[in-house]
Amino acid sequence: MAATPELTAEAAQWPRLAGLIPQWRQIPLYRARLSPPIISPGDFFRLPFVTKHELRENFPGNFLAPENNLETLLEQGVVELEYTSGTSDERTPVLFRRGWWDEQERRALRLNDFVARVLAENPAARRATLTSPVCNGRACPTVWVSREQRIIGPTFYLNIARIPFTLAETELARMAQEISDWSPPLLDVDPVHAVWLALYCERHGIRFPSLRFILSSYEFVSVVHRRILQRVFGVPVLNLYGSTEAGHLLMQDERGDMKPSTETAFMELVDVDADSVGELVVTSLSNDLMPLVRYRTGDLMERHEEPYATHYVIHGRARDALRAADGRRVTTLEVDRCFENVAGIAHYELRQPADGSCTLRFVPDGRGPDAGELATVTAKLKSLLQTYGGIKTECVSFLVPTHSGKFRLTAPLNSTAAVAA
């Protein structure tokens, strides 16, 4: 079988990575780590991992040489400084050359042929972004700002509220009208925020004729979120996975597979369990200012190597995984599969305290699920988690995000995650 373009790109990653090692060796953080010769992939895979702690410690001196002053580089407009949302730790500074973020995003988006065609038809495509204001300085404002201040280039930032469920009808109407006036071909959304706006639009019969697809990122997109967004807006809902520090790493294609952006990062899985799920570790191939070398993302994945290409399955955050009665790890994806083909739920959170009992809190879609559907979900969850007791359920008016502004679908025993009202 002839090599596909995808396999050719994957094969080119190791030579490219090896060629970058001399450059990385000049970076203060990696000087000692990379001093032994790295001749083979085996040598590379023995390198210690990098975590957010190392990225923060002594920043920016851990990445910039003494002669490169960060304030001067920022004044010259040649670099950009952003911060992570703080989902799993305190916020972490991220440095990249100006233009890098948009370049790597374009690469990822074009892994989907449909999206590539839409963007080719609209080279300066507008977008409306709807996510938590507690994300990062690039994605959205954290305080009230005017309409004009929320338009940056082709992007209209819609949201100025942390909890969508408490938004007044006037605020939802304002966002819907701004999307309509802006006429973007794509929405770039946090799925929880988008679902709440979608339900408002459905109640009022609002559609956006310009809309061609929805990008869901920022956090795990549930089957309940996807069902509502597709029902209301009638366009594909596509998963775009990445992070502020690593860039966009995976893009969902027309087959539903998550394809890696091979020019942006080299990806490996570590601590793979009996279910073939492991933690994603990434090494940067394009951010020369602040490269990540064997960086633990904290996200769980499956890797599938097919004859034509490699794709991944996202399982959610490692810290959000639950435990079955036999000690087996149960990921957010496994829990979410229990909600397939179940109507009446707009968003949910399954909490598991130390005793292994579980409480399912959910915000209803309309009148909520009927008794039979709810019984089906809880029976699936009970079988998955092997719990001896039942799954307690609570219908609530809203769920609260974590301090980072992101919501959790699964919250394990030691969680300080969301409470409901």
pLDDT band at 142 (very low <50, low <70, confident <90, very high): low
Mean pLDDT (whole number) for 403-414: 87
Could you give the CA distance from residue 141 to residue 99 in angstroms, rounded to a whole number? 20
Q: How confident is the model at residue 159 (pLDDT cuts 50, 70, 90)?
A: confident
Q: Would you state the pLDDT for residue 87?
A: 54
Range from 39-48, 346-355, 407-416 carrying the lowest mean pLDDT:
407-416
Show me where the domains of the chain are located.
Answer: 1-319, 321-411
Contact yes or no for 173/206 (Cβ under 8 A) = no
Give the per-residue pLDDT at 136: 43
pLDDT of residue 43: 93
Amino acid at 52: K
Assign domain 1-319 to its CATH superfamily: ANL, N-terminal domain (3.40.50.12780)
What does the mean pLDDT of the chain come to? 92
The confidence band for 314, taking pLDDT boundaries of 50, 70 and 90, is: very high
Q: pLDDT band for position 355 (50/70/90)?
A: confident
Q: In the chain, pLDDT over 90 holds for what percent of residues?
A: 82
Phi-psi region of 86 (alpha: psi -120 to 50; beta: other; left: phi over 0): left
Q: What is the pLDDT of residues 55-108, one digit of tens each?
A: 999 999 999 998 999 999 999 999 999 988 765 557 899 999 999 999 999 999
Token representation of residue 280: 């994603």
Q: What local confidence, expressed as pLDDT, does residue 419 receive?
A: 42
**What are the tens digits of pLDDT across the range 230-254?**
999 999 999 999 999 999 999 999 9
Query: Average pLDDT for residues 217-229, to the nearest whole number?
Result: 96
**Model pLDDT, residue 141:** 54
d(C-alpha 383, C-alpha 209), whole Å: 43
Class of the domain covering 321-411: alpha beta
pLDDT for residue 171 is more than 80: yes
Report the run of H or E that residue 251 belongs to, with start and end: strand 247-252
- N-terminal to C-terminal alpha carbon distance within the chain: 58
pLDDT at 421 over 50: no
Mean local confidence (pLDDT), 203-216: 98
When mean pLDDT is compared across 9-23, 121-135, 162-176, the lowest value belongs to 121-135
Give the pTM.
0.93
**Amino acid (1-letter code) at residue 410:** T
Placement of tokens 């775009």 in the chain: 240
Q: What is the mean pLDDT of residues 120-137?
A: 82
Residue 418, pLDDT score: 41
Q: Is residue 148 packed enough to be buried (19+ CB in 10 Å), middle (13-18) or exposed (0-12)?
A: exposed
| Average pLDDT of the segment spanning 276-290 | 97
Taking the CA atoms of 117, 120, 121 and 124 in sequence, report the sign of the dihedral they define.
positive
How far is the CA of 231 from the CAs of 203, 221, 241, 399, 410, in angstroms? Answer: 12, 15, 22, 22, 24
pLDDT for 416 equals 45
